[in-house]
Amino acid sequence: MTAALRFSPVTAELIDYLTGVVGTDHISTARADRALHARDQSQHEAHPAEVVVWPRTPEQIAAVLKAANDQRVPVTAWGVGTGLEGNAIPIFGGILMSLERMTRIIAVLADDFQVTVEPGIGHKDLNQHLTRYGLFFPPDPGANATVGGMLANNAAGIRTVKYGASKDNVLRMQVALADGRLITVGSRSVKQSSGYDLLHLFVGSEGTLGVITEATLKLVPIPSYMSAVVAAFPTVEAAVETVVAVRGSGLDPAALELIDASHTRMLRETEGVDLEDYPTLFMEFHAAQEASLDYGLEAVKQICEGMGAIRFRATTDTAERRRLWHARHHSYEIMVRSHPGKRFFINDVAVPISAYPSLIRYVEQIKREFGITAYMIGHAGDGNVHVEFPFSDEAEYARAVECNGLIVLKTLELGGTATGEHGVGIGKTRYMEREHGPALDVMRAIKQTLDPNGILNPGKIFPEMTRGHPP
């Protein structure tokens, strides 16, 4: 499939039609608007679309897609651009469909622990609204990503170890197809066994099969008791072995994060958090009863001390807990500020929890062999790690790409995946054949069925669609 040869440019007639669909205040060909939507937070090269549209209803989304499909113009959906793999970069130009203005909470179904929302609402904004009901939407990727973007990329974050990723917290969606049809997939029933699981086909498809226009999400009660735990270890190996021990103990952490010594130093110096310059585990525990929380904290303390922790600290103070997680969530921004003039190549891989120590040992080996600066931070409780490579020139970038490739191949050898939560986007397409084998042909067949003209977010997921474009 060579989509670049099949696409047509955006014409004046098409812009007139789109203006009639969304209104003059919701369409732009201005250079500034196109540049603002030309790149995400990744290192991938910017590619501006030819026109930006801001639909406000599912029907407008469907009408835009139908017109684009009829004229074979590419369409890339956009949330707020917090992606880290170039997932929403319109590398073939065409129409950039921004869902930023679709932010309504359609219905809070508190008795069913559900909420129905438009795709453009940020998950943090949603949870702020839900506090009045004593409920929250658990996936937390850090940035205030939109719900639509989270579902499109199957975003996860710090709480996945207890509550699951986005795919585990959605019940029903409305999706606009390339030909303009609006379909509903899934059901508000928690138990579903009717037909093919189209709901989870669209979750994680990165806008290549359809555009999410509405979603009904699962909610959970805000825990009555929460605690944060910080445990420092003399070596990365000891910290990682502790991750496996905690997961195997029967304890149920809501979050279990690994932060290397370089990160702890930066967080202490910039955020003032009380951390040592050692590899550190951040943990959080939730409970309905204080006694249950106390039991869990004592058990995890014994595990950490038995594994050689040089410092263990637990707190139930809300302000202190929020301060720690605020620092963790902003670690990337802090790292960028600490390296002026540098950009970052961010690796994202995940393995079975039993293979996590082997993966981390391999990363340490790669760092030594290449003499490369790299930082590790990750959702260790899920077997997920991010290796972050700073670079300032082509030579450093090429070395980061090489190291990233070796880590991905080792991850696949260990039974893992090339991307734990950032999605395939542009950079991971080269590993899709290796990871999926003949199953990738099935994905191609599904793509061909739902999007025969290839207009939906072209250049993502499939390796043949990104040839000639930067990794």
Which residues on adjacent β-strands are paired with residue 76? 96
DSSP 448: H
d(CA 377, CA 146): 23
Q: Residue 4's pLDDT band (boundaries 50, 70, 90)?
A: very low
Q: Are 432 and 462 in contact (CB under 8 A)?
A: yes
**CATH numbers and ranges of domains, the chain:** 3-101+441-465 (3.30.43.10), 105-221 (3.30.465.10), 225-334 (3.30.70.2190), 339-423 (3.30.70.2740)
Eight-class DSSP state of 427 = T
Q: Would you give the distance in Å from CA 411 to the centre of its chain?
A: 19
Task: List, as one string, the DSSP characters of 145-206.
Answer: -BHHHHHHHT--BTTHHHH--GGGGEEEEEEE-TTS-EEEEE-SSSS--SSS-HHHHHTTST
Within 317-378, where are the H helices?
Answer: 318-329, 331-337, 356-370
What average pLDDT does this structure show over 428-440? Answer: 96
Which tokens is 55 given?
């639909």
Question: Residue 412 is encoded by which pair of tokens?
Answer: 């696949």
Residue 242 in this model has a pLDDT that exceeds 70: yes
pLDDT at residue 471 tops 60: no
For residue 415, give every residue at least 6 positions away whose Cβ sits within 8 Å of its Cβ, in sequence order, or none.
351, 352, 355
114-117/105-109 β-pairing: antiparallel
- pLDDT grade, residue 324 (50/70/90)? confident
State whether residue 333 is helix, strand or coil: helix
Give a three-class secondary structure readout of 53-94. ECCCCHHHHHHHHHHHHHHCCCEEEECCCCCCCCCCCCCCCC
Tokens of 358: 């082997």
160-185 average pLDDT score: 97
Residue 5 has pLDDT above 60, yes or no: no
- Pick from 454, 462, 465: nearest CA to 179: 454
Q: Which of the four pLDDT bands, split at 50, 70 and 90, describes residue 7?
A: very high
Predicted pLDDT of residue 470 = 42
Q: Indicate whether 469 pLDDT > 70.
A: no
Segment 96-120 shows an average pLDDT of 98
Q: Which range among 18-22, 327-331, 457-461 shows the weakest confidence by mean pLDDT?
A: 327-331
How confident is residue 326, by pLDDT bands cut at 50, 70 and 90? confident
Task: Please tell me whether residue 359 adopts helix, strand or coil conformation.
Answer: helix
Q: Which two tokens stand for residue 189?
A: 């029933």
With CA atoms as reference, report the closest residue to 345 among 410, 282, 381, 393: 393
The predicted pLDDT at position 465 comes to 67
For 50, how many CA atoms within 13 A lie in the half-sphere containing its CB?
17
d(CA 191, CA 171): 9
Under the banding of pLDDT at 50, 70 and 90, the label for residue 355 is very high
CA distance to 262, 282, 284, per residue, from 243 (Å):
19, 10, 13
User: Helix, strand or coil for residue 423?
Assistant: coil
Strands 182-186 and 170-176: antiparallel
* Residue 422, amino acid: H
Q: Which pLDDT belongs to residue 468?
A: 46
Q: Work out the percent of the chain whose per-residue pLDDT is above 70.
A: 97
Average pLDDT over the chain, rounded to an integer: 94
For the cut 50, the answer to whether the pLDDT of residue 446 exceeds it is yes
Q: Which pLDDT tens digit goes with each residue over 20-35?
A: 999 999 999 999 999 9
Q: Report how far Cα 415 is from the mean position of its chain's Cα atoms.
A: 21
On the question of pLDDT at 2 being above 60, the answer is no
Half-sphere exposure of 260 (CA within 13 A, CB side): 19
**pTM of the entire structure?**
0.93
Helix (H, G, I), strand (E, B) or coil at 379: coil
